[in-house]
Structure 1
Amino acid sequence: MACFLLDGRNPQKFYEAIERFQELESEIGRVNPECWKMMLQTVKKGTTFHLASDLVEETAQQLSAALITEPGPMLTHAELDTLSLPSHEEIL
């Protein structure tokens, strides 16, 4: 079904892709017919797309929590003055 929806050379609307996918029932391999029917019902309801949105939102929250850190406290002028940076002559 993804091939029908994502094919840039032949893009199809969602319901057209479902119809074509449903026509392939005899060519899907060894999928239990009851599983096939349940999968089609789930796709037609659109509930899979709601789950995808939830997954994207949860992933974004976890990534931001893991990757975004709060900066530490700023150094005061006195603390900056105590840091000894090499002079130009010391570098050469």
Structure 2
Amino acid sequence: MHTPTQAEIEDQIAALRNEVASLTKSLSKTGASAFNTIEDRASDLYGYVQDRSPEVVRELRKQARYIENSARENPVASIALAAVALLVIGAIARR
């Protein structure tokens, strides 16, 4: 059985250091690439939402009017629904 010499061990350590440095550099590039991809997607999404915002605002207003009219037509059901919603929120908040 061969016992490694001091020089062989030092060579192996140097090789491992080089490998770790190479892997670190590679991971750094991969991380930067992933960050850039996420940044690009977020920018695209922001642009899409910005372009669609008038439509979204109109739809939200339409839904708000519908909910308001439903609440006026069915006040007891609206109060019951609000109470249930508060109970659910309270139960979730306690967890």
> Does TM, scored on the shorter chain, surpass 0.5?
no
Structure with max Cα Rg:
2
The TM-score, its normalising length taken from structure 2, stands at 0.40
Q: Larger helix proportion, structure 1 or 2?
A: 2
